[in-house]
Amino acid sequence: MNRTEIEIKLHESRVWLLEILSSLGEDKLQQPVTPSEHDPTNYWTPLDHVAHLALIEDNFEQMVRRHFAGSTNPVGLLTNEKGEPQSREQIMIRLHAMTDEFQREHHGASLSEVIALTASARARTLRLVSELSDEQLIEKLPGAPWADGTIGGVLAVNADHATMHWTWVTDTKLLN
């Protein structure tokens, strides 16, 4: 994926999500819609799902920066802190706990606060894209299971992540 395609995808996704969010009232955006994957008694709101996008976008940016800083395991998912291999189940338990912690920190944030949070994360992604050469954007990110595994693909997949979460929100039929 080239620089232009990455930027178009990220910008179009952001506009799409902002238009949807601005069309809904705060009451709909704050209603519980999906149970947490970590703690099924904790329900996420539509704004929780959107705020979560900032966490993952920042994580991807940090993975890319670790890669260029020389890390041999920039994604850091396949092994635990001791360097021992982890099963998919172990990885998902760890990821769900991390995302739930972030969700609880930002739960109850207003639409404006969530837009600012995600705008900040997107700005860091776009800054990173601007710092990388065309060759770096097509370089593989070791251990990355997203998109085509290239750095550009991983950064652009943030757009798909927004679509995925919004599909989960609207599948609940509570916003229809």
pLDDT tens digits along 45-64: 999 999 999 999 999 999 99
Q: CATH number of the domain at 50, please.
A: 1.20.120.450
Give the span between the Cα atoms of 114 and 14, in whole angstroms.
13
Domain presence at residue 30: yes
Domain presence at residue 157: yes
CB 142 within 8 A of CB 74: yes
Return the CA Rg of the chain.
17
Domain presence at residue 10: yes
Domain presence at residue 112: yes
Cα dist from 109 to 45, 97, 144, whole Å = 10, 20, 31
Handedness of CA 47, 48, 49, 50 (dihedral sign): positive
Length reported for the chain: 176
CB 125 within 8 A of CB 57: yes
Give the span between the Cα atoms of 100 and 79, in whole angstroms.
21
Looking at the structure of the chain, the number of domains it has is 1
Given this model, what pLDDT does residue 14 score? 98
Give the span between the Cα atoms of 67 and 150, in whole angstroms.
12
Give the span between the Cα atoms of 169 and 90, in whole angstroms.
25
Given this model, what pLDDT does residue 80 score? 75
pTM value surpassing 0.75 = yes
CB 147 within 8 A of CB 154: yes
> 70: domain range?
3-171
pLDDT tens digits along 149-169: 999 999 999 999 999 999 989
Q: Give the strand pairing for 34-35 and 43-44.
A: antiparallel
User: pLDDT (tens digit, 0 to 9) for every residue of the chain, 176 residues total?
Assistant: 899 999 999 999 999 999 999 999 999 999 999 999 999 999 999 999 999 999 999 999 999 999 999 998 899 887 777 878 888 898 889 899 999 999 999 999 999 999 999 999 999 999 999 999 999 999 999 999 999 999 999 999 999 999 999 998 988 766 65
Backbone angles phi, psi at 34, to 5 degrees: -135, 140
Q: Which two tokens stand for residue 140?
A: 């593989």
Closest C-alpha to 60, from 173, 153, 170, 175: 153
Domain presence at residue 88: yes
Given this model, what pLDDT does residue 72 score? 87
Domain presence at residue 176: no
